[in-house]
């Protein structure tokens, strides 16, 4: 999608926080709006949008004539609560409406959730338009703040024009967990220990399962990575893949090779990871964190965190319903899901455009 700095006057101009995030690009692909590009933060490398420069009262006051609506998605954790209140006042003074998409009732980037809850209180109460991704999250918003949020589903994650890998065939069933950089919302040690024990349970029942654990070379918690490494190294049916951060293509291939993806979440509300797995035809097992299970309920099996028997049962159900990596059936599933994504993309874009038109 082309980012337009100075769209035509007939086009609604949106200051999206941020504009360059994949979620925003896919949700608004082809929309009848002009997105202001993310101003680069001082000293930031190319392509980095955080901390978001437009999310600032002084910027709003100086540039109010450049946009018609501000839409906040991500990045508020970069600022104190008082900064948000100042932003809201500046928007009101400039006559510019605020739209807020509540992605996270709990912020998986944070250990202490109190600042995030304060931010929610400011933004949810001040927003002229509210969006969230699932009915469960909308019900929580209604119960907590008395506000009605429009439910607009998560857009596709895998680009619609990108090659969609269908996986590499293998004899054993491959159950994988991606820990990536082990952010605060990742319950890495418990997730891996539960997965390894579930593999033992499956193998004891004659199901040839293996565990594959991916983790970045550079992580936020090296001590946790070392504990995970020790767990995996001692297990005879487990493999550790420790690599530099995977680019988008390599990441898609690594997920496509799985029979089941296991989520290692401790906190959170929704999951772009689950959406990417759905794009790639890979079923997901995860703990009951937030409303991830509502995103694609037919392709998601829940298990209590730390309960390996429940995880083994969830995996058995998913394996019985899902085509294997590298199979013709997996390729057919991926193709069908892409068709569904293409159809759904227009509805997601139209819903956002209509919301902007209403509040503006």
Residue 63 sits in a domain whose CATH number is 3.40.50
CB 349 within 8 A of CB 28: yes
Q: Are 109 and 258 in the same domain?
A: no
pLDDT of the residue at 30: 87
* Partners of 17 in the β-ladder: 72
Structural domain includes residue 119: yes
Average pLDDT over residues 181-201: 98
The whole-number average pLDDT for the span 98-104 is 98
Check residues 45 and 17 and name the one with the higher pLDDT.
17
Q: Are residues 181 and 317 in the same domain?
A: yes
Helices (H), 134-221: 135-145, 188-204
The model carries a pTM of 0.95
Residue 260 and residue 129 share a domain: no
β-strand 69-72 against 129-132: which pairing, if any?
Answer: unpaired
Computed from CA positions of residues 351, 19, 282, 326, in that sequence, does the dihedral angle turn out positive or negative? positive
Query: Residue 3 above 70 pLDDT?
Result: no
Tell me, what CATH number does 303's domain have? 3.40.50.2000
Examine the domain organization and report whether 210 and 146 are in the same domain: no
**Which one of 155, 190, 219 terminates a domain?**
155
**Sequence-separated (6 or more) residues with CB below 8 Å from residue 232:** 192, 196, 211, 213, 238, 239, 240
Q: Are 228 and 189 in contact (CB under 8 A)?
A: yes
Average pLDDT across the chain, whole number: 96
Reported as a pLDDT band with limits 50, 70 and 90, residue 169 is very high
Angle at 201 between CA 199 and CA 206, to 5 degrees: 90
Q: Which contiguous run of DSSP H or E holds residue 129?
A: strand 129-132
> In b/e form, how buried is each residue of 185-224, taking b as 16+ CB within 10 angstroms?
bbbbbebbbbbbbbbebbbeeeeebbbbbbbbeebebeeb
Contact 212, 261 (CB under 8 A): no
Residue 74 and residue 206 share a domain: no
Look at residue 354 and tell me if it is in a domain: no
Same-domain status, 83 and 185: no
* Rounded average pLDDT over 36-47: 92
* 35 contacts 3 by C-beta, under 8 angstroms: yes
What per-residue confidence (pLDDT) applies to 46? 85
- What mean pLDDT comes out for the span 274-285? 98
The tally of domains found in the chain comes to 2
Per-residue model confidence (pLDDT) at position 47? 85
The share of the chain scoring above pLDDT 70, in percent, equals 97
Residue 22 has pLDDT above 90, yes or no: yes
Domain membership flag for residue 67: yes
3 within some domain: no
Asked, for residue 88, whether it belongs to a domain, the answer is: yes
Which pLDDT does position 9 carry in this prediction? 42
Residue 212 in domain: yes
**14, β-bridge pairs:** 35, 69
- Alpha-carbon distance of 75 to 44, in angstroms, equals 15
Distance between first and last Cα of the chain? 23
Q: Is the residue at 203 inside a domain? A: yes
> In the chain, what percentage of residues exceed pLDDT 90?
95
Residue 350 lies in a domain: no
Q: Which of 92, 127, 155 is the last residue of a domain?
A: 155
209 and 116 in a single domain? The answer is: no
Domain stop point among 108, 125, 155? 155
107 and 192 part of one domain: no
Cα gap 19→40, rounded to integer Å: 11
Split at pLDDT 50, 70, 90, the class of 10 is low
Say what the pLDDT of residue 5 is. 42
One domain, residues 130 and 209: no
CA distance 254 to 137: 30
Whether pLDDT at 204 is above 90: yes
pLDDT band per the 50, 70, 90 thresholds, residue 2: very low
Question: What residues make up the domain containing 317?
Answer: 173-335
List, for residues 295-348, the tens digit of each pLDDT value.
999 999 999 999 999 999 999 999 999 999 999 999 999 999 999 999 999 999
pLDDT tens sequence across 220-275? 999 999 999 999 999 999 999 999 999 999 999 999 999 999 999 999 999 999 99
pLDDT at position 139 over 70? yes
Are 106 and 136 in the same domain? yes
What was the pLDDT predicted at 174? 99
Q: 8 pLDDT exceeds 80?
A: no
Looking at the fold, whether 270 and 205 belong to one and the same domain comes out as yes
Same domain, 201 and 140: no
């Amino acid at each position: 999608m082309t980012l337009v700095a100075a769209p035509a006057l007939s086009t609604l101009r949106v200051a999206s926080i941020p504009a360059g995030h994949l979620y925003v690009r896919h949700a608004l692909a082809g929309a009848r709006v002009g997105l202001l590009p993310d101003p680069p933060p001082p000293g930031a490398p190319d392509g980095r949008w955080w901390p978001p420069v437009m999310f600032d009262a002084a910027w709003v006051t100086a540039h109010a004539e450049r946009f018609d609506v501000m839409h906040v998605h991500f990045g508020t954790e970069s600022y104190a609560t008082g900064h948000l209140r100042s932003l809201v006042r500046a928007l009101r003074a400039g006559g510019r409406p605020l739209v807020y998409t509540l992605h996270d009732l709990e912020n998986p980037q944070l250990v202490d959730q109190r600042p995030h809850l304060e931010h929610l209180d400011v933004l949810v109460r001040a927003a002229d338009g509210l969006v969230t991704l699932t009915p469960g999250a909308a019900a929580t918003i209604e119960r907590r703040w008395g506000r009605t949020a429009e439910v607009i589903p998560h857009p596709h994650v895998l680009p619609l024009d990108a090659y969609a890998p269908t996986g590499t065939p293998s004899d054993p069933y491959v159950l994988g967990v991606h820990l990536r950089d082990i952010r605060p919302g990742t319950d890495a040690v418990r997730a891996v220990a539960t997965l390894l024990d579930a593999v033992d349970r499956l193998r004891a029942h004659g199901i040839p399962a293996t565990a594959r654990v991916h983790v970045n070379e550079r992580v936020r918690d090296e001590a946790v990575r070392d504990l995970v490494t020790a767990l995996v190294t001692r297990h005879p049916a487990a493999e550790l893949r420790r690599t530099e951060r995977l680019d988008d293509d390599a990441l898609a291939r690594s997920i496509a090779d799985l029979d089941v993806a296991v989520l290692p979440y401790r906190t959170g509300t929704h999951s772009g990871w689950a959406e990417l797995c759905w794009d790639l035809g890979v079923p997901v097992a995860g703990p009951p964190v937030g409303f991830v299970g509502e995103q694609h309920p037919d392709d998601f099996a829940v298990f209590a965190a730390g309960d390996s028997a429940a995880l083994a049962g969830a995996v058995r159900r998913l394996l019985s319903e899902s085509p294997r990596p590298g199979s013709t059936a997996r390729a057919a599933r991926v193709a069908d899901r892409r068709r569904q994504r293409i159809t759904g993309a227009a509805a997601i874009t139209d819903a956002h455009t209509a919301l902007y038109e209403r509040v503006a």
